[in-house]
Chains A and B, each alone.
Chain A
Amino acid sequence: MHIRQEESERHVLSVTVDNEAGILARIAGMFSARGYNIESLTVADVSADHAVSRITVVTNGPPRVIDQIIAQLDRLVPVHKVVDLGEVGPYVERELALVKVAGTGEARIEALRLADVFRAKVVDTTLESFVFEITGPTSKVDTFVGLMRDLGLVEVGRTGVVGMLRGAAG
């Protein structure tokens, strides 16, 4: 007997929650307890009184699993709202990465040139290294990091995705 995997699709969920102790563990734990995937997860409080946090979860799974994830999130007591950004409408998603590249000579010049193409900023430099700051959708960050691998990539730090619906409505 072998265990079969189902086809899955990527979804970006925006979850509005009470900013209370343990909320991140509650959300992340629900995913692990029920066997759901987390590709990335970001959280920060977003209200003036620090009472409400916004969590952006990138997950993947078959459509019926995505429905379950939304229902399971929604039923947690401190969760106010769950929005499946891709389902509700057009949306923007961004992540930020810091990318450290070390090298000299042609590789160093090429790294800087590519950074310019990708509109990455140099936030730290020495004579043999750069730290670039790049923002964009995941695919752009992936591509940039991939290119840097051949040019002396030392380390990468990524924030994970935040997302928001386009247009005036909240």
Chain B
Amino acid sequence: MAEKSGADILVQCLIDLGVDTVFGYPGGAVLPIYDMIYDHPSINHILVRHEQAAAHAAEGYARSTGKPGVVLVTSGPGATNAITGITDALMDSIPMVVITGQVATHLIGTDAFQEADTVGLTRHCTKHNYLVKQPGDLARVVHEAFHIATSGRPGPVVIDIPKDVQVATAPYVKPVLNAHPSYRPQVEPDADAIERTADLIMKSERPILYTGGGIINSGPAASQSLRALAEMMGAPVTSTLMGLGAFPASSPQWLGMLGMHGTYEANWAMNKADLLLCLGARFDDRVTGRLDAFAPDSKKVHLDIDRSSINKIIPVDVPIVADCGRGIEALIAALKARGYKRPDYSEWWARIEGWRARRSLDYVETGSEIMPQRAIEELFKATRGRDVIITTEVGQHQMWAAQHFHFDEPNKWLTSGGLGTMGYGFPAAIGAQLGNPDALVIDIAGDASIQMNIQELGTAIQYRLPVKIFILNNEYMGMVRQWQELTYESRYSHSYSDSLPDFVKLAEAYGATGIRIETPDQLIPGIREMIDSPGPVVVDCRVAKLSNCFPMIPSGAAHTDMLLDPSQVSGTLNDEAKALV
């Protein structure tokens, strides 16, 4: 049989697996692979400007298309630069395959040029990883890696390929997928657990659906099933940051996001519910607040594909290990089989409407400055009727976007939830634009975060990606400053963004369009101009400098101890609360 080189086998596998887009950066240890890509125009290689951005772009591509993101980087610094993005994908369960070059096998362990122990370094920030030592193993490993990355709880998988393995040859046969016999994600729910959940639903007077990113990862069908279940029950629905869009924000049953910066009604309903259906969420510390005061009087059901998520933080009454979509479908079927009728929850809804009447997302406008919340609201209004994908960086702007931009569909909201990675949003927008060429992709950014991957303007220009960057510029690392105001008596230690660049000139230097919005009357026309300008646009939107993101549950506090406005802030916290971040 004719033999192929390792690089050839790798590229052949990628084509066989339907990979059309690869985010990468060349270097010494991946030259054989890049030479092979030179001959294969069917693989659209996107040259980023920094390997971290390659990983985030792959995340944005994956999250917005449902397909795995693929990254190709060199050994040593190429791999270590990608690690932040790989860890981000692990925390947010994003399917991703990262191919890293490695020094030749006989040089491994000798501190060779651009050598790093990539498999060792990525062991705990990947779902699984491989070092391939024989070209004959490559096809099996690549197919297995894609299977592992995309099935069960999705996550990043690293394949480290030494340079000699890329050059050496082996017979190539398209492998029959035979994944690790030990890797068998549980997809179908346990029938008994479903029945017990149905029992709890029949008895409940105050249920709430607490949904998360697991629904989105399960695919669009799971979002449809969630809508069907919510419709059937007439129950209120809240979601984590990662789950926004799985349930339509325009529904009257929608309470908004829950948790640290969630709405008053979502957090109070969580606290007073008698049945909590956690669907594809994981009781993150930003969601629960003080654990002993979390939903104290409720029965709890937890549907998650990852058994280790169950009982990790909050003990639950009914665990269901399954794919979210399959679990919800089974639950709907069980309720139908019992002749379930939508109960009268009017008393429960009356209480919720009381909480909703507090209008916890309202804010005070000064008239002379642009309030950041207003900027997001206007952005939301101006983009109605278009296919919009929003990405964010991390900080106040991210929370304001989550609160004031509303999503009716899944896969339209891309944000770094678990790891909280500043610098995520812009490369993620690039990835999303590649996967959705006709969408209007906007990175809602802060002045500090955007500088963490600003170099990707070069990528956006090169590939003519009309990504819009909307910077809420308050000249601070706003969330850090807010915490310092609330916790450390406004001692603003190193949270001021000194020496900011002129973002308009910066955009122009790259060949993009720059727009500055400085006064409230410029806001709507400025947003309009951004949308109407072809190609990449950077908007420097100057907003009120000292705005805080409310509502807020201070660290160590219960859902019912929300702060709604600055007058409730004491300026200090005790040591226990300080230690909780």
Chain A interface residues (CB < 8 Å from chain B): 1, 17-18, 21-22, 25-26, 29-30, 33, 64, 67-68, 71-72, 74-81
Contacts of B128 in A (CB 8 A): 76-77
Q: Is the interface of B mostly helix, strand, loop or mixed?
A: loop
Minimum Cβ distance to chain B for residue A20 (Å): 9
Contact call B307/A1, Cβ cutoff below 8 A: no
Contacts of A79 in B (CB 8 A): 182
B131, B308, B311, B315: the one within 8 Å of A74 (CB): B308
CA distance A25 to B148 in the complex (A): 20
Chain B interface residues (CB < 8 Å from chain A): 119-120, 123-124, 127-128, 131, 148, 180-183, 306-308, 310-312, 315, 575-576, 579
Tell which of A17, A75, A81 has the most Cβ of chain B within 10 Å.
Answer: A75
Contacts of A18 in B (CB 8 A): 180, 182
A26, A74, A77, A78: the one within 8 Å of B307 (CB): A74
Minimum Cβ distance to chain B for residue A26 (Å): 6
Contact call A30/B124, Cβ cutoff below 8 A: yes
Contact call A78/B123, Cβ cutoff below 8 A: no
Contact call B180/A67, Cβ cutoff below 8 A: no
Minimum Cβ distance to chain B for residue A130 (Å): 40
Q: How many A-B residue pairs have CB under 8 A?
A: 47
Contact call A72/B579, Cβ cutoff below 8 A: no
Contacts of A29 in B (CB 8 A): 123-124
Contact call A78/B131, Cβ cutoff below 8 A: no
CA distance A26 to B123 in the complex (A): 7
Instruction: Give the top 10 A-B pairs by smallest Cβ distance, nearest first.
Output: A71-B308, A1-B575, A80-B182, A77-B128, A33-B124, A77-B183, A71-B307, A72-B308, A75-B308, A77-B180
Contacts of A21 in B (CB 8 A): 131
CA distance A76 to B128 in the complex (A): 8
Contact call A77/B120, Cβ cutoff below 8 A: no
A1, A25, A26: the one within 8 Å of B579 (CB): A1
Contact call B308/A77, Cβ cutoff below 8 A: no
Contacts of A22 in B (CB 8 A): 119-120, 123, 131
Contacts of B308 in A (CB 8 A): 68, 71-72, 74-75
Q: Of all chain B residues, which has the CB nearest A1?
A: B575
Minimum Cβ distance to chain A for residue B422 (Å): 23
Q: Of all chain B residues, which has the CB nearest A2?
A: B575
Given A18-B180, A81-B182, 16 additional A-B pairs, CB 8 A:
A1-B575, A1-B576, A1-B579, A17-B182, A29-B124, A30-B124, A68-B308, A68-B312, A71-B308, A71-B310, A72-B308, A75-B306, A77-B180, A77-B183, A78-B182, A80-B182
CA distance A64 to B311 in the complex (A): 8
CA distance A12 to B131 in the complex (A): 31
Contact call B127/A77, Cβ cutoff below 8 A: yes
Q: Of all chain B residues, which has the CB nearest A26?
A: B123
Contact call B315/A64, Cβ cutoff below 8 A: yes
Contacts of B119 in A (CB 8 A): 22
Contacts of B576 in A (CB 8 A): 1
Tell which of B123, B148, B575, B579 has the most Cβ of chain A within 10 Å.
Answer: B123
Minimum Cβ distance to chain B for residue A54 (Å): 13
Q: Of all chain A residues, which has the CB nearest B129?
A: A22
Minimum Cβ distance to chain A for residue B365 (Å): 40
25 contacts between A and B (CB under 8 A): A1-B576, A1-B579, A18-B180, A18-B182, A22-B119, A22-B120, A22-B131, A25-B123, A26-B123, A30-B124, A33-B124, A67-B311, A68-B312, A71-B308, A71-B310, A72-B308, A74-B308, A75-B307, A77-B127, A77-B148, A77-B180, A77-B183, A78-B180, A79-B182, A80-B181
Minimum Cβ distance to chain A for residue B432 (Å): 29
Contacts of A67 in B (CB 8 A): 311
CA distance A17 to B128 in the complex (A): 14
Contacts of B131 in A (CB 8 A): 21-22
Contacts of A30 in B (CB 8 A): 124
